Amino acid sequence: MDSLTQITLGAGVGEVLLGRKAGNKALLWGAVAGTIPDLDALAGLFLPPVEYFVFHRSVTHSILFVVLLAPLLGWLIHWIHRRDPAVTWWEWTRLAFWGLFTHPLLDCFTGYGTQLFWPFSDHRIEWNTIFVVDPFYTLPFLAGLIALAFLNRESPARRRLAVAALAVSTVYLGLTVVHKQLVEHRFSEALSERGIPAGRLMTSPTPFNNLLWRGLVPFRGGYLEGYWSRLDGDAPIRFRYIEGRHNLLGQARPSEELRQLLRASDGYFCLTESGGDLLYHDLRFGTLDGWAAITVHEPAFIFSFKLPRLDDRTPPDTRVSRARADFKVDGGMLRAFFARVLGTG
């Protein structure tokens, strides 16, 4: 999830655990613990694109990292507040543990994948039930925490508000899991009506909401991409075909980076050529315009890489690089998108 959501969740956990004893300090340190795992984003300043792509949500998002760091962070917090003996080292350690652990746990509900069991397994857990930025999850939770920060730490209303905020956000997260099951059933029905097997169907929510969902399924060397909103009523799901062009892999220079990309995509990828460049697109992250009722041009892929070709005259150590999509998000596109979310687009 985004940093604001992780900070909010960490602060909420801190308040529930130690708000009565530590007051707003529990909010603060819960927020700090909740954001620490995402410090791995700093690695993007130093690592090549593919290495960072694989590294993100690995070491700092693992259970091992949480178990090792929690007592150290608990000791540091206890030392900082050593003149206030109201909270013990163990209590700060418990807050640090849950603040740290809820971060990768929440990330598992999104896409991209979280290596929760690193280094024992590099399997990425991605339940894909909520988008990385969902204001319906974050904003009510955040509003509750801001309100309780102005209450006395011994006020019964403060704890009730903290528990209520955490409970509402948790219930919403649980409903996204239920929602995904309903969505997958709807997509499976739509594919079955066309005689298409849905064995490799992947579904994911679209940005900022949990109403409009994307479905992607391999089909005849490519993929069928469709979108369905819970507010669409009886309208049929429209699919468009995305060519896989997997044969273009034969033109790419073999490398460990390419193997990592192929493994990460779990089979959901396609290739295109543009201006002489060979481009690799990870389809798990969607297309910018697939939700539109009619698309008449090449899909606007969101997550793409430029692959060195076998016949390139560039040095043999040329790395895979990120390819920035050439698209513009403006007010008109956003209005059209949210109309689609509401089933009116």
Reported as a pLDDT band with limits 50, 70 and 90, residue 299 is confident
pLDDT number for residue 311: 81
Reported as a pLDDT band with limits 50, 70 and 90, residue 318 is confident
Taking alpha carbons only, the member of 260, 247, 109 closest to residue 178 is 109
Q: Which two tokens stand for residue 34?
A: 């909740």
CA angle, 280 as apex, 186 and 333 as ends, to 5°?
Answer: 55
**Mapping DSSP to helix (H, G, I), strand (E, B) and coil, where does residue 27 land?**
helix
Taking alpha carbons only, the member of 231, 33, 9 closest to residue 109 is 9
Pairing of strands 202-205, 321-323: unpaired
**CA–CA distance, 111 with 284 (Å, rounded to integer):** 8
CA angle, 30 as apex, 67 and 45 as ends, to 5°?
Answer: 75
E strand or H helix at 323, and its extent?
strand 321-323
Reported as a pLDDT band with limits 50, 70 and 90, residue 103 is very high
pLDDT number for residue 294: 57
Q: How many CB atoms lie within 10 A of CB 79?
A: 10
pLDDT number for residue 233: 85
> Across the chain, what does the average pLDDT equal?
94
CA-CA-CA-CA torsion sign (98, 101, 103, 107): negative
Taking alpha carbons only, the member of 192, 231, 189, 191 closest to residue 210 is 231
pLDDT at residue 102 is higher than 70:
yes
Reported as a pLDDT band with limits 50, 70 and 90, residue 77 is very high
Range from 2-11, 142-151, 243-252, 280-289 carrying the lowest mean pLDDT: 280-289
Q: What beta strand segments (E) does 71-129 contain?
A: none
pLDDT number for residue 230: 93
**One-letter amino acid of 176:** T
- Block residue for tokens 């694989």: 54
Average pLDDT over residues 271-296: 85
> Each residue of 240-279: pLDDT tens digit?
999 999 999 999 999 999 999 999 999 999 999 988 899 9
Average pLDDT over residues 203-221: 97
Average pLDDT over residues 284-303: 79
Contacts of 116 (CB under 8 A, 6+ apart): 61, 62, 63, 104, 105, 108, 125
Cβ burial, residue 312 (10 Å; 0-12/13-18/19+): middle
> Each residue of 121-136: pLDDT tens digit?
999 999 999 999 999 9
Percent over 70 (pLDDT), the chain: 98
> Each residue of 139-185: pLDDT tens digit?
999 999 999 999 999 999 999 999 999 999 999 999 999 999 999 99
Q: Which two tokens stand for residue 256?
A: 């460990």
**CA–CA distance, 44 with 27 (Å, rounded to integer):** 29
